[in-house]
């Protein structure tokens, strides 16, 4: 088990930080809530953390089991490039009818968030990646993530709270770590 002090040092020296989207970066969970969420200014106001990380030249990624077309709206508000978004792609027939989702995306399968982090380490040679999220699939991404920070600022999932070595309910705590 890693000490809380060591976890903080790892966070502050990370090459990349990956955020879950539903109930972490945004308050809502689920397709219906996300669909009406395309104007994301209010729910991401606390995401000053993303700006601070980017100022420190830390790569920031959004990894979601949700749909890319919606997650990209969130990313654009946070100045995260589309290349740093990993989410499921919707498919449509030529007549516009829904045809399903792209099953080839790593986020479309079990353990997908961990597969994305493994891919990021291989592609960019990141030494330290932090995963921040509210759910079990986020927690399962560590390893290959080096640190998992459980987030309960929008919804508290007891399993995540009980099993996270570092659990926060407000991004202000992480901002404080970057200030020290």
Residue 37 CA, chain-centre distance (Å), reads: 17
Query: In the block, which residue shows the tokens 């709206």?
Result: 73
pLDDT digits (tens, 9 = 90+) for 34-50: 445 544 444 444 578 88
Calculate Rg over the CA atoms of the chain.
16
**Ordered alpha helix ranges (H), 95-180:** 112-124, 136-139, 158-163, 172-179
- pTM score, whole prediction: 0.74
Q: How many CB atoms lie within 10 A of CB 39?
A: 9
Nearest to 61 by CA among 133, 10, 158, 9: 133
pLDDT digits (tens, 9 = 90+) for 131-148: 888 888 888 888 888 888
pLDDT digits (tens, 9 = 90+) for 98-112: 666 666 676 656 777
Domains annotated on the chain, with CATH:
4-177 (3.40.50.1000)
Active site residues: 20, 22
CB 88 within 8 A of CB 108: yes
Would strands 59-67 and 16-19 be described as parallel, antiparallel, or unpaired?
parallel
């Amino acid at each position: 088990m890693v000490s809380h002090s060591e976890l903080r040092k790892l966070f502050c020296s990370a090459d990349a930080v990956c955020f879950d989207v539903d109930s972490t970066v945004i308050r809502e969970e689920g397709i219906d809530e996300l669909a009406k969420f395309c104007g994301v200014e209010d729910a991401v106001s606390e995401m000053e953390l993303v700006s601070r990380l980017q100022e420190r030249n830390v790569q920031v990624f959004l990894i979601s089991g949700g749909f890319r077309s919606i997650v990209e709206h969130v990313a654009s508000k946070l100045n995260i490039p589309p290349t740093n978004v990993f989410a499921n792609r919707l498919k449509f027939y030529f007549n516009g009818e829904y045809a399903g989702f792209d099953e080839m995306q790593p986020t479309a399968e079990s353990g997908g968030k961990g597969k994305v982090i493994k891919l990021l380490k291989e592609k960019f040679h990141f030494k330290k990646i932090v995963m921040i999220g509210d759910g079990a699939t986020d927690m399962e991404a560590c390893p290959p993530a080096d640190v998992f920070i459980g987030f309960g600022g929008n919804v508290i999932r007891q399993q995540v709270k009980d099993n996270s070595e570092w659990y926060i309910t407000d991004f202000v705590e992480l901002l404080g770590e970057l200030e020290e």
